[in-house]
Amino acid sequence: MAYHNPALHREILPMKTATLSVLAVLLTWPASITFAQPQRGGGANSDHEEMLAKLGITTPLRPGPAGRLAADGTAPANYANYDESQATAKSPVPDLLTMGDGKTKITTAAQWAQRRQELFEIFDREIYGRVPPAAKTIKVTWEVTGTTPGTSGNIPTVTRTLVGHVDPSYYPDIKVDIAASVTTPAQAAGKVPVIIVWGGGGGGGGGARRGGGAAGPGAPAAPALRGGGGGNNPPFPNGATTWQQAAISLGWGYGNLNPASIQADGGGDSLRQGIIGLINQGQGRKPDDWGALRAWAWGAGRLMDFFETDTFVDARQVAFEGHSRYGKATMVTMVYEPRILNGFVSSSGEGGAKLWRHLVGQQVESLANAEYYWMAGNILKYGGPLTVDDLPVDQHQFIALVAPRPIFISGGEYLEGNGKPGTNSRYSGENWQDTPGTFMATAGASPVWKLLGKKGLGNDALNLHFDVVPDPVAVKAQMPPPLTPLIDGDVAFRQHDQGHTDAPNWSTFIEFSRRYFKSPGLKQ
């Protein structure tokens, strides 16, 4: 059952299943650790109005599309578009391998390095916001607050609860303690690779998986399953029945990072709390200041700091995973934290791995009105006086900033029409996040991997490759059917045949990651 606040246009998805060992440890986090709770106001909250004033926007923003049919089965006037014939924006998708002058073609790695800096400046200013200098130097002291033995598939494990205390002397009125956990094989012969999943713990990010890239405002929420093998999906290795068991059986580890312990998932007064509020000393943001997504990525960087000093985890072999809004978090984390080796971006929607200019499902107006706090304040401009056609960038360029590191991008079934009367299609819990638009952006980013000496998106057996993509929109015609893994390159994609869940793609991600993770093995 989804919770729908009409003013906020958001839903809370069911609690994701954790392994018993991790869940037990998460429940033992010290009582002194508290997480800022999201402000439950809507797009018209005072913080939103303050940002509009700072931007000089005096007229109402355009409303975002409705993500589901009305209760009587009719389509509201602003029902989201699920018709490919109406999905192309007026402006062309920016060319990936052209410099900012609009003329010079990029043919060398050195030119791409220069273009990367141009793109970072635009994404920082207009989309995700800048990290203030103080956040780059503030001290975070890590503490292991609990150690719990357990087993995973009959293999002994140890789970540690971690708390990163942000220096309280910077601004004593706001306390930030980053909460995480990590489980590793108890008999590992050395430091192990780990997969860190966004979520877990208490507060706004604890277990409750929210649907930012989800089926749409008020839509029924799909179960947040944590399996992946079985059905039409590849089996897990070594007889494992969950991805966690698979990881341990391969000599890897896994864990959670709680986003709410870094920055609450909400607007209003929440932006004057958490790490954003602490660094701003309780004051409001500037239009180009960071939003929650970059704050969460900052927290991931602090966890990487801990791993670099850890005796259990190999900091050179860390992957992050996230689904829905946490898919956005994983995408942003991969771009802004270069120490992370690999990523699994699931159903991330607008502002994640979806083309802005593919006008399906969630749109820029959705973020400008409801979830603006994920982004820089400047995103509001594109839901008001400006439009998506005024965006100077698109997400294929953002994905390309991850290269040459590996990344696996995914989504679920897509039904053109999405249950709209007269379309002869049923409702899908996944259409809101726009899997075709996600494929277009992933394929559109692929040529940069080739430019940097890596292998682009493709499936060798099908002779399907995307080394040259002049127009990400046109590449839609080459999108393979669901369950086709495009994992032979260093940028990968798969569409599963279910609704809003990451579960069916876990086994494929494990397979993809085996090319990059090297385990020290277990002691004999």
Segment 421-445, tens digit of pLDDT: 999 999 999 999 999 999 999 999 9
The amino acid at residue 205 is: G
CB 370 within 8 A of CB 42: yes
Are 284 and 47 in contact, with CB atoms under 8 Å apart?
Answer: yes
What is residue 321's three-state secondary structure? strand
In Å, the largest CA–CA distance within the chain is: 69
How many whole angstroms separate alpha carbon 522 and alpha carbon 368?
50
How far apart (Å, rounded) are the C-alpha atoms in residues 301 and 281?
21
Mean pLDDT calculated for residue range 325-335: 98
Across the range 312-330, mean pLDDT stands at: 98
| CA of residue 297 relative to chain centroid, distance | 10
Contact 410, 307 (CB under 8 A): no
Residue 230 has pLDDT above 70, yes or no: no
CA distance 330 to 241: 24
At 263, is the pLDDT very low, low, confident or very high (cuts 50, 70, 90)?
Answer: very high
pLDDT-derived band at 99, boundaries 50, 70, 90: very high
* Three-state DSSP string of 241-293: CCHHHHHHHCCCEEEEECHHHCCCCCEHHHHHCHHHHHHCCCCCCCCCECCHH
**Residue 44 pLDDT:** 42
**Are the CB atoms for 344 and 360 separated by under 8 Å?**
no
Res 232: pLDDT: 85
pLDDT of residue 459 exceeding 80, the answer is yes
Distance CA 419, CA 423 (A): 7
Instruction: Determine the residue type at 110.
Output: A
Q: With a cut of 80, say whether residue 330 has pLDDT above it.
A: yes
Q: What is the pLDDT of residue 228?
A: 57
- Is residue 486 pLDDT above 50, yes or no? yes
Three-state SS annotation for 389-434:
HHCCCCHHHHHHCCCCCCEEEEECCCCCCCCCCCCCCCCCCCHHHC
Distance of CA 321 to the CA centre of its chain: 8
Predicted local confidence at residue 46, as pLDDT: 85
Q: In whole angstroms, what is the distance from residue 357 CA to residue 350 CA? A: 10
Give the percent of the chain with pLDDT over 90.
83
- Decide: 467 and 441 in contact? Cβ < 8 Å: no
Nearest C-alpha neighbor of 504 from the set 246, 277, 230, 238: 230
* The three-state (H, E, C) secondary structure of 32-68, written as one string: CCCCCCCECCCCCCHHHHHHHHHHCCCCCCCCCCECC
Averaging pLDDT over each range in 42-46, 223-227, 356-360, which range is the top one?
356-360
What mean pLDDT is predicted for residues 114-142? 98
Cα dihedral across residues 368, 373, 377, 379: positive or negative? negative
CA separation for the pair 347, 327 (Å, rounded): 6
Residue 205 pLDDT greater than 90, yes or no: no
What number is the average pLDDT over the span 143-170? 97
pLDDT digits (tens, 9 = 90+) for 377-428: 999 999 999 999 999 999 999 999 999 999 999 999 999 999 999 999 999 9
- Look up tokens 């998932």; give the residue: 265
pLDDT digits (tens, 9 = 90+) for 139-152: 999 999 999 999 99
Calpha distance 476→455 (Å, rounded): 20
| Interatomic CA distance for residues 302 and 172, integer angstroms | 20
User: Token digits for 345?
Assistant: 């971006």
Query: How large is the C-alpha radius of gyration of the chain?
Result: 22
Instruction: Return mean pLDDT, the chain.
Output: 88
Residue 179 and residue 511 in contact, taking contact as beta carbons nearer than 8 Å: no
pLDDT confidence tier of residue 524, bands split at 50, 70 and 90: confident
For 68, 82, 83, the CA distances from 415, given in Å and listed in that order, are: 13, 8, 9
pLDDT, tens digit, 9 for 90 and up, residues 240-254: 999 999 999 999 999
Q: What are phi and psi of 188, to 5 degrees?
A: -60, 140
DSSP tag of 124: I
Of residues 369, 411, 371, the one with CA closest to residue 270: 371
Q: Helices 109-122 and 435-451 meet at what angle, rounded to 10? A: 140
In angstroms, the CA 485 to CA 264 distance is 35
CB–CB of 333/320 below 8 Å? Answer: yes
Cα torsion angle, 420, 422, 425, 431, sign: negative
Q: Which residue has the tokens 């934290």?
A: 337
**Three-class HEC string of 132-172:** CHHHHHCCEEEEEEEEEEEEECCEEEEEEEEEEEECCCCCC
